[in-house]
Structure 1
Amino acid sequence: MTPDRSPDSTESKTASEVEASAARSVMIGAEMLNWSDLHPEDGRPATAGRVPAALLEPVLRAADTVLVAGPHSLELIELIVDQVASVDVLARSAPDAEEIADALSDRPVRVFCGALDRFTPEHGESSYDVIVALDGLPRLVGPDTPVLTWADALEALKARLAPTGRLLIAAENAFGIERLIQPDPTVTVPRDEAWPRDVAGDVAAPAGLKAVRTALEASGLTVDQAYSLYPELVGAKVAVADASGPLVGAVIARAVASRFSGPTLTDPYRTTHDAVAAGLGNELAPAWYFVIGATDLPQVLPGGAVPDGPGVLLEESLLTALRIDDQVAVRRTVSGYVTWLLAQDAATGAVASADNVLVDGTSYKVFADGVVVEGSGEALVVGQLARFVRRSLEAGSRQPWAAGSSAHDLTSRLVSMAGITVTTELWATVADGNEPVQPTGNAEQLATIARLSQELADASTQASWFESQLDGIRRSRPYRIGQAVLNPARVVVKRVRRVVR
């Protein structure tokens, strides 16, 4: 649907009319009458979830006056209202403004509907203790706002912030990890929300983490804390102040892998894990939260998202050993894991996949909540190792064996290292064991095809060499003499056999 332009008559309303409005919302200009960010038909939903909630909790205080700027879920707004003295909400969507006002009609909330550039000091408070803009700045304007840059929008919010106030603001990354994983369909088929905008008036954030920090500092704001968000801004599952380290990388990679489905350019999990390992976790984050005026905040949102303690994922240890063809390490790792797995209770063993177990020497522990693998005893071992094999094949990881090996063959080879034979009955316990496995990403598919082509070329070269060797033997003098000696004997043997019959 196409956003409607607002009539000029709505711009004459002031904040004093909020109390007189049945829905307790007032249109301030550039509002969108036929649009919803809370219930979009062809656009992104409002910011919501545990991550922004976890950030708001330690920042808000009971006596605060708060401005919520931009699309935030009704649940988030209610959470804010429950913790502070008063809340003003700025929403560009008229249906959203009415819904928020109706839902919070008995609470200290005022709702202003329109664009940020129409939100003047006559609307709301002259200054706020806290301004919450965790959806970013682009959705603070509509098509009736001709020119407003990101710096202009930031300055407008800063002007309404109290001298000792706290600002929570989000910014999307123009070159996040998703650009390496999956092409953006909105480039060729734009959503309805991507209406044309003046190039000079684009409210998109500056490109890159360093550029956003520089823009904030140029505006006179000091960033006290910055979080890298994954897998996206509006549906963030984890936010970390320092996106580095193997355990953080595993948590982030899981979040990103859950975000993408269908054909991708590269494997989501492996690409993200490798990017974090290379020290690019902060720079390639899909979005960031910036906190101004608040300190002593947690390093990870929500708390406990990244388990504490030493160790690396068992999957990473196995993949590393397979990559360098360290058969001794593979056998030792598999044997130790299987011994530990068989000693666990049913609930622990069911989620103790190689991608969900931390190993520190000979010590093992479950990393987090994981995929449940049914079975017990040897069936559980086969199921868990089959899951590892499937994940390694989907990631296009290098194997020291033939690239065309099936999941059954590779699983049998690993399980045999623990003294277990994969029978037909045992393999039948793996539900998807006979399904063909191919790499998830196009890049990994091309790499696998290249390895298969190389193996075929090597096999063809070896066959040609053996043929040439055999041809040389057949032409040699000893071979011809042997043939001359053996041929009469063959004739005699054949005649004797016929007589005996």
Structure 2
Amino acid sequence: MTRSNLVGGEMLNWSDLHPADSRPAAGGSAAVSLLAAALKPGDTVLVAGPHATSLYVDVAAQAESIDILVRSAPDAEELAESLTHAKTQVYCGSLDRFETDETYETYDLIVALDGLERMVGPDTASLPWSAALAKLLARLTPGGRLLLGATNSFSVNKLIQPDITAALPRDEDWGRSVADAPPAGLGPLKAALRAAGLGIAGEPEKPGPRPLDPTAVHANDADNPRGDGTAAAPLARICGVYPSLVEAEVAVGNGGQVVAAEAARVVAARNGGPTLMDPYRVVMDAAAAGLLVELAPAWYVAVGVEAPVDSTSGELVEERLLAALRADDQTALRREIVAYVEWLRTAPETGSPDHVIVEGTSYRLFGEGEQGTIEGHLNRFARRALESGSRQPWPAGGDAQQLTARLASMVGITVTPAATPEVIRPLGSAEQLATVARLADELAHASARALLFQGTINGIRKSVPYRLGHAMLNPARVVRRRLKRVLRRR
């Protein structure tokens, strides 16, 4: 027997768990990790909005009770029949019409990792993002925890892929108020959270509205009351999510190269085909500029929870090598290649430069390294450097085998040239245009040198010494040619 309860605003012929013309429900390994950090045995939990089925199962396994709110009637029926937890209630409808009991029930933990936009259907004319957030915060117990997802309208995705599908409206794209969308940008998101009575972790508290419940104090702030005697605002911790909310694989802070590389890999893996810019390099460059969180495709906001983010330190060997290439510093390039190859020759497990971290003079493997020969690891770096369109201290347009041979020669390794050189093109259109421009510049310089050389030759031929020498040597040439003819006849 179903336990689904209709609250109003439900969508009868629609599914967010099995979408035909919309994005899937929120999920991913980063979502699992964040939920595990927030969930405590005995919690009363509200899961609002569509989430991957595995997340519902994880919550039901530990929670004292779990209420689920989804807008899709088929999804509500499916969840009600599949979740056998004794204290599970499934509600179907819009957030603005959601009431659980005669009393206004509150929760220890509210999970809304999909964001706030898909908590209403077409029957709700408008529910501003800030109003939806206020409704969730009002349902928290004092000291309660909130996990919230928010999409970023201007992220690295804008620099990677042209959004050609934006002109093609989907079934889900009914008319909505602009205010219903998440704040556009990290700064406006923080401002909206402050307006809701939340503090931002790592930033000084700014004057603003008090929390909806003045007794709601974050555990870490219990010893830090306000000067006026009231409780400090609950803290919201924000981390970047890559590559999206629906498949959140990596949650990051503004960490170093290793953290950025994890995010860059998942972004590159999901952006095959033509791109505006090389996906991997876009993320790495954003991290170098301190914008890894600001330009993330989405964000997690964790209130009352220490969000688990990767804090691995060190530098990638690949980034050091690329820095030397860009600066035309062959001395630094040789030094890095020699040290890296020496480690390869003695390490029990080896990896290519994009899988090896260097800290001072020590090296260690990062992620799942690929076993192989020294030549193979250098060739992988050569290919990745050419695919990224990185500047090189040699003429443009070379193939991976040529670059591999140059690098290998620095450590005394001879590489056999390929019978048919493979031309590696940059992945992104911007890098391709930059390579074409460099080739055109090199061709123009070569043409100018050829013209200068031709002019020098013409000047020599017109000089008096050249003419005298030519006149003196010409008779000797005539005699030599005649002698050859005579000797051939004999």
Output the TM-score relative to the length of structure 2. 0.88
Q: Which amino acid letter does the alignment assign opposite residue 464 of structure 2?
A: R
2:195 maps to which of 218, 225, 245 = 218
Say which is worse superposed, 133-142 or 181-190, in terms of deviation.
181-190
Correspondences of 1:294-373 after superposition (within 5 Å)? 294=305, 297-300=306-309, 305-308=310-313, 311-345=314-348, 348-349=349-350, 352-370=351-369, 372=370
Q: Which amino acid letter does the alignment assign opposite residue 368 of structure 2?
A: D
Extract unaligned runs of 5+ from structure 1.
Answer: 1-21
Partner of 2:174: 196
2:287 is equivalent to residue 276 of structure 1: yes
The 2-side partners of 1:360 and 1:493 are apart by: 72
1:234 Cα deviation (Å)?
A: 1.5
Partner of 1:54: 33
8 Å Cα contact 1:81-1:107 kept in structure 2:
no
Summarize the Cα distance change of 1:105–1:298 in structure 2 as closer, same or farther, 3 Å threshold: closer
Partner of 2:139: 160
8 Å Cα contact 2:398-2:423 kept in structure 1:
no
Partner of 1:37: 16
2:473 is equivalent to residue 486 of structure 1: yes
1:444 Cα deviation (Å)?
A: 0.3
Q: Percent identity, aligned pairs only?
A: 53
2:478 is equivalent to residue 459 of structure 1: no
Partner of 2:266: 255
The 2-side partners of 1:435 and 1:23 are apart by: 61
8 Å Cα contact 2:400-2:424 kept in structure 1:
yes
1:281 Cα deviation (Å)?
A: 1.3
8 Å Cα contact 2:16-2:50 kept in structure 1:
yes
2:251 maps to which of 239, 251, 258 = 239
State the secondary structure of the residue aligned to 1:243: coil
State the secondary structure of the residue aligned to 2:15: coil
State the secondary structure of the residue aligned to 1:410: helix
Output the TM-score relative to the length of structure 1. 0.86
Summarize the Cα distance change of 1:298–1:187 in structure 2 as closer, same or farther, 3 Å threshold: closer
1:133 Cα deviation (Å)?
A: 0.6
Runs of 4+ with deviation above 6 angstroms? none
Number of residues of Structure 1 aligned to a counterpart in Structure 2: 453
2:436 is equivalent to residue 437 of structure 1: no
Summarize the Cα distance change of 1:224–1:198 in structure 2 as closer, same or farther, 3 Å threshold: closer
State the secondary structure of the residue aligned to 1:409: helix
Partner of 1:91: 70
State the secondary structure of the residue aligned to 1:359: strand
8 Å Cα contact 1:97-1:112 kept in structure 2:
yes
Partner of 2:232: none
8 Å Cα contact 1:251-1:306 kept in structure 2:
no
8 Å Cα contact 1:230-1:237 kept in structure 2:
yes
The 1-side partners of 2:129 and 2:328 are apart by: 51
The 2-side partners of 1:496 and 1:389 are apart by: 58
The 1-side partners of 2:143 and 2:24 are apart by: 32
The 1-side partners of 2:459 and 2:360 are apart by: 55
State the secondary structure of the residue aligned to 1:450: helix
Say which is worse superposed, 469-478 or 116-125, in terms of deviation.
116-125
Partner of 1:287: 298
The 1-side partners of 2:75 and 2:430 are apart by: 42
1:126 Cα deviation (Å)?
A: 1.8
State the secondary structure of the residue aligned to 1:169: strand
Partner of 2:277: 266
Partner of 2:408: 415
Q: Which amino acid letter does the alignment assign opposite residue 204 of structure 1?
A: A
Summarize the Cα distance change of 1:123–1:281 in structure 2 as closer, same or farther, 3 Å threshold: farther
State the secondary structure of the residue aligned to 1:454: helix
Summarize the Cα distance change of 1:123–1:385 in structure 2 as closer, same or farther, 3 Å threshold: farther
